[in-house]
Every structure is written in C-alpha cells, then in structure tokens.
Amino acid sequence: MAGETTVTPRAPADPLAAGLPHKPLVCWFEECLKDSVPLVGGKCASLGELINAGVRVPPGFALTTEGYRRFMAEAGIEREVETLLAGHDAQDIEAIEAASTRIRALIEAQPFSTELEDLVAECYRKLALRCCVPAVPVAVRSSATAEDLPGASFAGQQDTFLWIRGIDEVLSNIRRCISSLYTGRAIAYRANRGYGADQVAISVGVQKMANSFTAGVMFTLHPVNGDRSVIVIDSNFGFGESVVSGEVTPDHFVVNKITLDIIDRTVSQKTVCHTVDPKTQASRLTEVPFERQKVQSLIDDEITELAWMGKRIEKHYGRPMDIEWAVDKDLPAGGNIFILQARPETVWSAKSQASATGSAPAASAIDYILSGMLAGKKVG
C-alpha cells in the first residue's frame, strides 16, 4: 500500500521493566507501548503502540505520571487538594464545581521546578528539530491513566489545547491539562464510579500538530448497527473538531472491510470548519467557501488508504476501534494521512456479536459478510 512505513519497535518507556530504580519524568511516544498506561496514560500509550505497530502518527513526547506526581509534590499542594475534595457528596454539583474551580486555579498558579522545566524544554527543542519547524506548533493533550480503556468512559473528561507554540505556552498548557484532572465532571464521575484520587493520575502528551486539510473520525464497525463487515469514515475540511463536536453534518463513507470498496457515500453541505489563523496561529471556526461546501472532502484514494489503516489497527488490537485521523496539507500524497488517536470502541463491543448481527456469532469480517448475504442483506 502506498505510504506504508516501517518502524522498528523499541522497548517500553517504563524503566522498571529494565530493572532501573526510577521512572522517567518525560519520554518519547515511541518509547511507549500499550502496557505503559500507568506511566503515560491511555492516550499516549495508544500513540506509542501505534507507532511501534508501524502506523503513521505525528511525533511527540509525554510528561509522565511520575512527572505529574513530582510537579504536585514540589508544588506542595497535594494535601490542600485532598482537603478540598474531601467530604463532598457526588450528587452536590454546586459544591463539586466550587472545589474544582479552587483546585484548578491552585494548580495553574504553580511554577515547574527547574529540572522539570528544563526536561520539557529540551524535548520540545528536539521535537522542533525533528520536524524541521522552529517553535513547532503542537497539541498539548491530557492522557489520564483511566481513559481510553476497554469498559471505561473517561475519555474526553480532560482537556486538549491545539496550535500551541513556544516553550512558555507549552508549559502553561501542560499545567492546564494537569488541572483538568479536577474538572467538576471528572471529580463527580470518579466519585460515582468509586475511583479514589490516588487511583487516577495524568500524563500530558505534546504532539506535533497535523496541519489538516481534512480530518475526522473512523470506526472499524458500523456505529449505528454494529456491522463489523464495514468501516465507516466521517470527514470535513480543516481540523476534526467540527466532526467530533457535531458542528457540521460531515461527509459519510461506508467501506467494505474485505475489498475496501466504497459501498455507500453521502456528501453533505459543510458550512463551517476549523482552521488555523495565520496571524495568531490559533485554531478558529471559519466558514467554508460556498463553492466548496458540497465538494467531497476526501478523495477516493484517501478513503481507501484510511480504511486500510483502520483495518490494520483493528487487527493489531484485536477488537473494533474508534479512530481520529487527519490529512496533512503540508505533506505530499502517499505520506500525509496520520492517525491522531485510536481507542477501543465501547458501545457495540460491549454487546454480544449475536445481538449486533441478529445471527450467530461470527469470527471475522468475512463471516459477517457471508452471514449477511445468507440473510438477504445488501453488503455492497
């Protein structure tokens, strides 16, 4: 397949696995694997796993959970945070929001130690050199130790900040990500699920921004009916926020998982998209020019390559996946489609295959196609 890359797997970042006495405060994504969740959280562990599986992912590094704990300890605010969290009823939203506001302001006011600041600054400098872009724009992404896990719904509870440039802004937004571990929603959710404050930690990923011409989401089953014989892709121009947030009705493509033929397509009128402001270098919502609103946002070759990548990711994880992706307009075709995030699909995966298909369980995508044909269903 055009654009395929080969990455030599590396050892996981957790130095305990190598017999070393201490965990690192920062590490590169490629040093992480799916078993690195306690060190770098679900999101960063997933990105590292994808890189080591040969999937094209924008490069980056993580402030680890050990770095988070060091920051909190050196700031001397752990006991104050515990006090603010103690004794609140999980149903008392007003009290929880008040505690959240105080905790977040407390965290965001704390400086990093010289050691932590130097470590993050050196990684950011190396990332800029690696990308050949001075003060490279990055996404600063929260990665909690309980998110993106099978059977959990923590994903999206912490914050992500896009188009961040310069080390001062990177450090400031890392603090904001750390503080987002204590949003009112996250505090209440953990309390209702029985998670104590000591059971959830946070890592923060710093990842090169993909300058997206088109972006969106992909499911390696049909999210409406659970059909595992297809891959479903939703897309819009610009960054993926407009698709994820529901600000537009995206273009919709259904791809046969075996043949990679496009068996259904719906090209919508897309009135707005998120793009980068050339002056402020910040993401902003903008109107799509009228003449482009009904133009297909992905060409067919890109749809096919995305579906092939989704199929490969599903095979690697051994389960249906929910994937965020982007097509970088600064890079040539054949090497410009990137996976930004991949997490297990949790809705249909929690149901039996029999209930999802209305027939006996099947072992593979071809079994689903065959069972559908026998039932008289159109499969493309």
Domain ranges, ordered by start, for the chain = 15-208, 212-374
Q: How far apart are CA 269 and CA 293, in angstroms?
A: 5
Q: Are 141 and 76 in contact (CB under 8 A)?
A: no
pLDDT of 340: 94
Q: Among 51, 329, 338, which residue's Cα sits nearest to residue 216?
A: 338
**In the predicted structure, residue 1 carries a pLDDT above the cut 70:** no
Q: How far apart are CA 323 and CA 309, in angstroms?
A: 10
Span 121-139, pLDDT tens digits: 999 999 999 999 999 999 9
Q: Are 182 and 158 in contact (CB under 8 A)?
A: no
Lowest mean pLDDT: which of 8-17, 47-56, 57-66, 150-159?
8-17
Residue predicted with more confidence, 193 or 236:
236
- What mean pLDDT is predicted for residues 24-51? 94
CATH number assigned to the domain covering 15-208: 3.30.1490.20
pLDDT of 99: 92
Q: How far apart are CA 275 and CA 1, in angstroms?
A: 29
Structure tokens at 1: 């397949």
Amino acid in the structure at residue 10: R
One of 3.40.50.1400, 3.30.70.1560, 3.30.230.10, 3.30.470.20 is the CATH number of 212-374, namely 3.30.470.20
Q: How far apart are CA 6 and CA 281, in angstroms?
A: 32
Confidence of residue 378 (pLDDT cuts 50, 70, 90): very low
Span 257-282, pLDDT tens digits: 999 999 999 999 999 999 988 888 77
Q: How far apart are CA 220 and CA 273, in angstroms?
A: 24
pLDDT of 250: 97
Residue predicted with more confidence, 137 or 189:
137
Q: How far apart are CA 146 and CA 38, in angstroms?
A: 9
Span 70-106, pLDDT tens digits: 999 999 998 899 888 887 777 888 999 999 999 999 9
Distances (CA, A) of 128 to 59, 61, 82, 177, 207: 10, 12, 38, 21, 11
pLDDT of 197: 67
pLDDT of 367: 55
Span 357-374, pLDDT tens digits: 444 444 455 555 555 555
Measured in residues, the chain has a length of 380
Lowest mean pLDDT: which of 25-34, 146-155, 187-196, 334-343?
146-155
Q: Quick one: what percent of the chain has pLDDT higher than 70?
A: 82
Q: How far apart are CA 272 and CA 286, in angstroms?
A: 6
